[in-house]
Amino acid sequence: MNDTVSMNSAVTDYVLGKRILVTGCCGTIGSQLLEKLARGGLAGGLAGGLAGGLSPEVVCGLDINESGLFLMTQEYREVKGVSFVLGDVRDRDRLGRVMRGIDIVFHTAAYKHVELCERSPMDAVMTNVLGVQNVIAAAQEAGVATVILTSSDKAVNPTNVMGACKLLGEKLFTAAAADAPIQRTGRAGHGDPARKTVFASVRFGNVLGSRGSVLPLFIAQVFKGGPVTITDPDMTRFVMTPQEAASLVLKAASLADGGEVFVTKMLTVRVGDLADAVIEEMAPVFGKKPEDIEKKIIGPKAGEKLYEELMSGEEVRRAFDIDDYFFVILPAFADLYAGGGAKKYAALRRVQRPYVSNAQGVMDKEALRLYLRDKNLLQGV
């Protein structure tokens, strides 16, 4: 899977004229989604751009990060139809007010740092579980057409609080798809007012360059002259760029029928190779010799897996291969769903094995160096 995500006319038609809310708009994925929606996909993830660009009627960003929101307000001050609101997904009433008249919600707001969630588990539950339920309830009440949750590989066989919260968030979305009431509102050209709200999730792995990810850490360590700390050089990870992630979330929204978990197909790297590639690329930039940068093995963190899982063995039984970009996992309790998802995907090839990083071919070091360069992942992190 590469950064040039082919978007067909269905995506353009899906977004055209819609009123869209992005929660967590100051985060890595939320900000990329807002960029694509507000500026016609100019952030680099759409193949050659779209004919006429993406043209929603309104894009609203919601976040609890006051400073980040202020900066985004300045950045988009001259962009018509873009607005920002300060709000917390823990506040059910606030979400209800913001969602009035909204057609599509992309829910990206979440606590994502594993160790911090482990130290403050109830805060993680309040945001990543109860916050998800607040989004669901507010969307149902407002008659929103589609709601998409961004999830994580850590939801698969979770070993920590953050992963368990993400898994429960997915389950809440899937359950909401079975229990979604008929929309009570609707505007011409904005979906069928008699259709149930569509709830679906998109699950992906590491987003390179996002805040708190290993790539900016490696770069900062090279800048200081080392050492570059590596948990385990043979550890494998799924990776993609922020632009890829945002493009695939948009694409999944246009495909969703209700209750699905879309699993993105991703490139795979060894952590040791990634560290080597960063040292070789960035040491000369900082006036240092790559061979002078020490690498220090520190061992895996508590609860950290040596490989990543994007689809479990149990999920394989109800998973299908959609295209170059996605697998789709259907709900376990298929009889509860009237949306026809099973029939929609029945003709596709069934998945044969779990999707885990240590079973995939990894990028070699030279390919990885080119990838980091070509995707500008070493700039501005």
End-to-end CA distance of the chain: 23
Which residues have a catalytic role annotated? 154
pLDDT of residue 337: 64
pLDDT of residue 184: 47
Domain boundaries, the chain: 9-205+240-266+309-355
This prediction has a pTM of: 0.90
**Which amino acid appears at position 226 of this protein?**
G
**Residue listed under structure tokens 């009433």:** 93
53: closest CA among 26, 81, 30, 73? 81
Give how far the C-alpha of residue 287 lies from the chain's centroid of Cα atoms, to the nearest Å: 35
Q: Which segment of 50-64, 79-93, 286-300, 315-329 scores lowest on mean pLDDT?
A: 50-64
Instruction: Write the pLDDT tens digit of every residue in 283-299.
Output: 999 999 999 999 999 99
377: closest CA among 151, 214, 192? 214
Tokens (6 digits) for 300: 């895996």
| Contact criterion met (CB below 8 Å) for 142 and 99 | yes
Helices then strands (H, E): number in the chain?
14, 17
CATH architecture of 9-205+240-266+309-355: 3-Layer(aba) Sandwich (3.40)
Looking at the chain, the whole-number percentage of residues with pLDDT higher than 70 is 87
Q: Which segment of 43-52, 123-132, 162-171, 327-336 scores lowest on mean pLDDT?
A: 43-52
Instruction: Write the pLDDT tens digit of every residue in 151-170.
Output: 999 999 999 999 999 999 99
